[in-house]
């Protein structure tokens, strides 16, 4: 049977914008966090079909259809799972090889474990005597201990084997060590890749560490910053630093402030600008644009104020426009980066700078002083701009840019359109077609509802409740819910959509989708889990108490001694009272 590696599946799922794909078939309108439209799988007049871009899933509240972007194509196009992956792979330029084996999931589990172990080690190093100078450096750069701890910043010693010795004997395969990107090859075996560097863990959307950025510290290494290489977990052109923390703020603000560096990001967040993302010290790509487009359609580019930063901002801006995302450029003072600017002038001045950001083309025309260029230079400049505009598929955005160009440079509209047609004539996109419907069953008993609530809380507050749920996983007795919780807890999968893809049964997948669409985040998730666990532990005892009472009545009616049953019932009541305390104690342990 044809197999595709988990790495390829994850890459394509993250690259494929589920909103973009489903919009080819369904007219969707935003309502809150999600998008709604008429379901393509059953006839309806009121929209009940919903797409959740952040979770990368869809669900119809009418017929129950639901799943990941792959499931949508499978049902709508009558494709197999492999065919749906191949189709999206072609669309997003990712090669799909029919390989892979059962060891892939084990590899991913070990890679996550190695990265978590490394994060803990580097963090511990920073707060040790040997990390004192690095910690002082960060604090002198204006970072608080709270910010450092929140983002788990750490320090790699000037040592070839600090991490190597930490992972030795932990049962990791040679493949996992080699593919983690955290080790190099020494004469005697693996050696630490990162040495004498301040370490910034890069997390995926599920809060799992997948890579690191390392800043040279007290070292003559010419590379000021060094990132993890590409690995099965980490594809730098698809990842933002800080996404796991700030994506909700980006969504709430309906805009993102995009910076280049780790320190830029941390200073912005610490200063109170929460809707910020960083490109992890790498160039912005169309794949970055696809990812950011899932949570906002407006980006403020706050790149370094030097020449290189200005050019990088322009490249990123046109990439955003090509993906139908509004791009504005913040005028960072000459030769300052956002980190310096925040520390020098304070958050209010930075906020004013964001408010005064110019639309990309206006900014481009201003920084090049295009109006005053000699005729030949101006003509070449216009051709460069038209080359960018020609790749923009959205006609409204394209026309708006042409109008701005014509008005600001006093160029005839028809001449611009003629030149654009000359430049254009190259690219096109694929198309697609349509089928059926289903029915779902819901969990209705008190115990089932408690198990559903445990699962939804695990999804929305994973880090806070992971250990508590793991300690009581056996109480989740519904096979569907237990399997979903187990998959989440085992660290094999980094998104809600990835969990759904493990359920081949259509009804199971659709029931689970309806549960995972729940966005409600509890104020105190640990208390919610504890209450649910109390319900699950209490229910069997309550049933036994009820049976004991019935038995007592039978014995009393028959004139027989019910003393033993009364004692049993008292013992059961004591058990009931102790459950809450035991769960709280378990959690503390």
Instruction: Band the pLDDT of 431: cuts 50, 70, 90.
Output: very low
Do 254 and 187 sit in the same domain of this protein?
A: no
Do 420 and 452 sit in the same domain of this protein?
A: no
45, part of any domain: yes
Total residue length of the chain: 589
Q: Give the number of domains in the chain.
A: 5
1, part of any domain: no
What HEC string does 294-363 produce?
CCCCEEEECCCCCHHHHHHHHHHHHHHHHCCCEEEECCCCCCCCHHHHHHHHCHHHHHHHHHCCEEHHHH
433, part of any domain: no
**Comparing C-alpha atoms, which of 278, 350, 361, 353 is closest to residue 327?**
361
181, part of any domain: yes
Mean pLDDT of 91-95: 83
pLDDT tens-digit profile of 39-70? Answer: 998 888 889 999 998 888 999 988 889 999 99
pLDDT tens-digit profile of 339-393? Answer: 999 999 999 999 999 999 999 999 999 989 888 888 888 888 888 888 888 888 7
558, part of any domain: yes
Q: Which of 209, 234, 259 is the last residue of a domain?
A: 234
Do 443 and 586 sit in the same domain of this protein?
A: yes
Do 382 and 357 sit in the same domain of this protein?
A: no
**Comparing C-alpha atoms, which of 160, 179, 162 is closest to residue 113?**
179
Q: Tell me what pLDDT residue 9 has.
A: 87
Alpha-carbon radius of gyration of the chain: 28
Mean pLDDT of 193-220: 90
Q: Tell me what pLDDT residue 355 has.
A: 95
Q: Which of 174, 200, 234 is the last residue of a domain?
A: 234
Do 446 and 557 sit in the same domain of this protein?
A: yes
Residue 264, pLDDT above cutoff 90: yes
Give the other-Cβ count within 10 Å of 427's Cβ. 8
**Comparing C-alpha atoms, which of 512, 494, 495 is closest to residue 503?**
512
The pTM score is 0.65
Do 277 and 304 sit in the same domain of this protein?
A: yes
Do 417 and 285 sit in the same domain of this protein?
A: no
pLDDT tens-digit profile of 180-190? Answer: 999 998 888 89
Residues spanned by the domain of 14: 6-91
Q: How far apart are CA 264 and CA 363, in angstroms?
A: 22
Q: How far apart are CA 451 and CA 467, in angstroms?
A: 16
Q: How far apart are CA 528 and CA 338, in angstroms?
A: 40
Q: Tell me what pLDDT residue 440 has.
A: 37
Do 587 and 448 sit in the same domain of this protein?
A: yes
């Amino acid at each position: 049977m044809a197999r595709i590696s988990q790495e390829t599946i994850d890459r394509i799922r993250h690259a494929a914008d589920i909103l973009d794909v489903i919009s080819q078939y369904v007219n969707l309108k935003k309502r809150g966090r999600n998008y709604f439209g008429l379901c393509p799988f059953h006839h309806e007049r009121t929209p009940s079909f919903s797409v959740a871009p952040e979770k990368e899933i869809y669900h119809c509240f009418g017929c129950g259809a639901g799943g990941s972007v792959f499931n949508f194509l499978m049902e709508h196009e009558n494709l197999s799972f492999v065919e749906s992956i191949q189709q999206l792979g072609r669309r997003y330029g990712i090669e799909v090889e029919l390989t892979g084996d059962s060891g892939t999931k084990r590899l991913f589990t070990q890679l996550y474990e190695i990265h978590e172990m490394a994060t803990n080690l580097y963090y511990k190093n920073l707060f040790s005597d040997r990390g004192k100078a690095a910690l002082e450096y960060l604090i002198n750069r204006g970072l608080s201990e709270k910010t450092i701890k929140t983002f788990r910043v750490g320090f790699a010693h000037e040592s070839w084997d600090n991490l190597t010795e930490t992972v030795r004997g932990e049962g990791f395969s040679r493949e996992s060590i080699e593919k983690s990107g955290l080790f190099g090859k020494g004469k005697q075996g693996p050696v630490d890749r990162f040495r004498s560097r301040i370490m910034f863990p890069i997390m995926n959307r599920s809060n799992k560490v997948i890579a690191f950025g390392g800043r040279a510290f007290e070292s003559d290494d010419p590379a000021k910053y060094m990132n993890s290489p590409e690995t099965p977990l980490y594809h730098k052109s698809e990842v933002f630093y800080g996404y796991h923390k700030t994506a909700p703020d980006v969504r709430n603000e309906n805009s993102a402030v995009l910076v280049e560096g780790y320190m830029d990001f941390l200073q912005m967040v610490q200063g109170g600008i929460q809707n910020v993302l960083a490109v992890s010290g790498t160039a912005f790509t169309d794949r970055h644009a696809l990812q950011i487009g899932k949570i906002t359609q407006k980006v403020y580019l706050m790149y370094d104020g030097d020449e290189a930063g200005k050019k990088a901002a322009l490249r990123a801006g046109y990439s955003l426009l090509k993906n139908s995302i509004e791009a504005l450029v913040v005028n960072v003072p000459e030769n300052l980066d956002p980190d310096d600017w925040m520390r020098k002038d304070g958050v209010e001045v930075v906020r004013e700078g964001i408010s005064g950001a110019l639309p990309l083309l206006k900014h481009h025309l201003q920084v090049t002083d295009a109006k005053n260029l000699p005729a030949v230079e101006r003509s070449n400049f216009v051709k460069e701009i038209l080359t960018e505009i020609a790749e923009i598929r959205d006609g409204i955005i394209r026309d708006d840019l042409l109008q701005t160009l014509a008005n600001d440079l006093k160029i005839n509209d028809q001449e611009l359109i003629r030149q654009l047609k000359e430049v254009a004539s190259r690219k096109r996109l694929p198309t697609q077609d349509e089928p059926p419907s289903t029915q779902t069953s819901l969990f209705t008993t008190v115990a089932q509802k408690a198990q559903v609530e445990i699962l939804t809380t695990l999804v929305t507050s994973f880090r806070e409740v992971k250990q508590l749920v793991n300690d009581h996983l056996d109480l989740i007795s519904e096979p569907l819910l237990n399997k979903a919780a187990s998959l989440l807890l085992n660290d094999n999968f980094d998104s809600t959509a990835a969990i759904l893809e493990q359920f081949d049964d259509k009804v199971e997948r659709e029931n689970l989708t309806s549960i995972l669409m729940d966005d409600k985040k509890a104020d105190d998730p640990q208390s919610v889990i504890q209450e649910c666990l109390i319900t699950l532990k209490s229910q069997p005892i309550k049933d036994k108490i009820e049976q004991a009472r019935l038995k007592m009545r039978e014995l009393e009616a028959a004139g027989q001694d019910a003393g033993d049953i009364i004692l049993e019932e008292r013992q059961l009541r004591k058990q009931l009272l102790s459950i809450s305390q035991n769960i709280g104690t378990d959690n503390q342990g």
